[in-house]
């Protein structure tokens, strides 16, 4: 597994989009690469409006699939360059994948939701998001090593509570998945009213399960809030994504973003203003960065 990520062994087989290839391949003197130096945002001074926006990517990167894994991890890094998100929620990380990201994406602080097997993680852009504290909340009855990773951060003077999780997989585990969703929603609902709360992750949820659990009135599903746009409905889509060979077509909205605004007087009110899917381009190896599409969201002060 470690050998998959001997990154300097792959200079002739880079799968990043061609326009972003050069910087990713260069090996600096210190052995680390600051990806954001090659970002579109670095070539211009952000407007005041852009500067106050919060941008987020949530993505199950399928680290358990070791085929073309170094190329696919490099693909993830190329999207970080292109979008320069403030916050990244990741699921299905494995330890070598995390080490790769720490080496390549030094402009981000990486928080891990585990150490063994596979787990979730968060990436915080050091220049814009400051970590205050983080914790891991266990799901007592999970059979799949799942938990809830929570971080309290400061974003330009605003208090954010960030959460990510990979809820129990497969149709037969709906009861456990709904239990886990209840934990997430309880934490979102009970967060202090001066915090903006944001959850992103691979929920594996079916709409009927969400209906059974119910969302608190203060929490919105960002995709629904933005008008249920068809082009970013399906995040796991075997009709369009052939990373997994399955004998049937499955199109599901497994990956979801939930949002609860701060309500305390005098606290800036962020609101979702944009959503898109990322990872839709095939890499040079003929596969996609993951079997899931990633979700990109931005939030602005209302």
Task: Report, as residue numbers or ranges, the catalytic residues.
Answer: 202
Q: Which two tokens stand for residue 208?
A: 């009927």
What CA–CA distance (Å, rounded) separates 287 from 1? 19
- DSSP-based three-state secondary structure for 70: helix
Q: Which residues of 109-132 are buried (b: 16+ CB within 10 A; e: fewer)?
A: bbbbbbeeebbbbbbbbeebbeee
What CA–CA distance (Å, rounded) separates 25 from 22? 5
Which residues on neighbouring strands pair with residue 201, listed in sequence order?
256
Q: Which residues contact 30 (CB under 8 A, 6 or more apart)?
A: none
What CA–CA distance (Å, rounded) separates 128 from 91? 22
Which residues on neighbouring strands pair with residue 203, listed in sequence order?
none
What CA–CA distance (Å, rounded) separates 219 from 197? 9
- DSSP-based three-state secondary structure for 231: helix
Torsion of CA 21, 27, 33, 35, to 10 degrees: -10
Give the dihedral sign, CA 24/25/28/30: positive
Question: What angle do helix axes 69-83 and 95-104 make, rounded to 10 degrees?
Answer: 40
- DSSP-based three-state secondary structure for 259: strand
What CA–CA distance (Å, rounded) separates 297 from 222? 9
């Amino acid at each position: 597994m470690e050998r998959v990520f001997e990154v300097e062994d792959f200079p002739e087989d880079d799968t990043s989009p061609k326009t972003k290839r050069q910087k990713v391949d260069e090996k600096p003197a210190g052995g680390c690469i600051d990806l954001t130096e090659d970002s579109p945002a670095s070539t211009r001074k952000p407007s005041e409006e852009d500067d106050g926006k919060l941008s987020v990517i949530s993505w199950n990167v399928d680290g358990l699939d070791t085929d073309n894994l170094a190329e696919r991890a490099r693909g993830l890094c190329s999207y970080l360059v292109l979008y320069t998100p403030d916050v990244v929620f990741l699921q299905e990380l494995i330890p070598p994948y995390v080490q790769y990201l720490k080496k390549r994406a030094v402009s981000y602080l990486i928080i891990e939701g585990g150490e063994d097997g596979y787990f979730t993680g968060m990436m915080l852009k050091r220049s814009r998001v400051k970590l205050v504290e983080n914790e891991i909340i266990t799901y007592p009855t999970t059979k799949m090593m799942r938990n809830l990773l929570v971080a309290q951060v400061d974003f330009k003077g605003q208090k954010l509570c960030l959460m990510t999780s990979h809820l129990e997989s497969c149709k037969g585990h709906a009861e456990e998945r709904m239990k886990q969703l209840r934990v997430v929603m309880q934490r979102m609902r009970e967060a202090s009213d001066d915090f903006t709360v944001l959850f992103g992750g691979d929920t594996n949820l079916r709409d009927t399960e969400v209906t059974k659990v119910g969302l608190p009135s203060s929490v919105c599903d960002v995709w629904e809030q933005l008008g249920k746009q068809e082009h970013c409905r399906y995040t796991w889509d075997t009709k369009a994504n052939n990373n997994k060979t399955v004998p049937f077509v499955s199109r599901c909205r497994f990956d979801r973003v939930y949002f609860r605004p701060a309500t305390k007087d005098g606290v800036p009110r962020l609101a979702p203003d944009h959503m898109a899917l990322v990872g839709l381009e095939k890499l040079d190896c003929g596969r996609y960065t993951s079997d899931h599409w990633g979700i990109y969201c931005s939030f602005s002060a209302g």
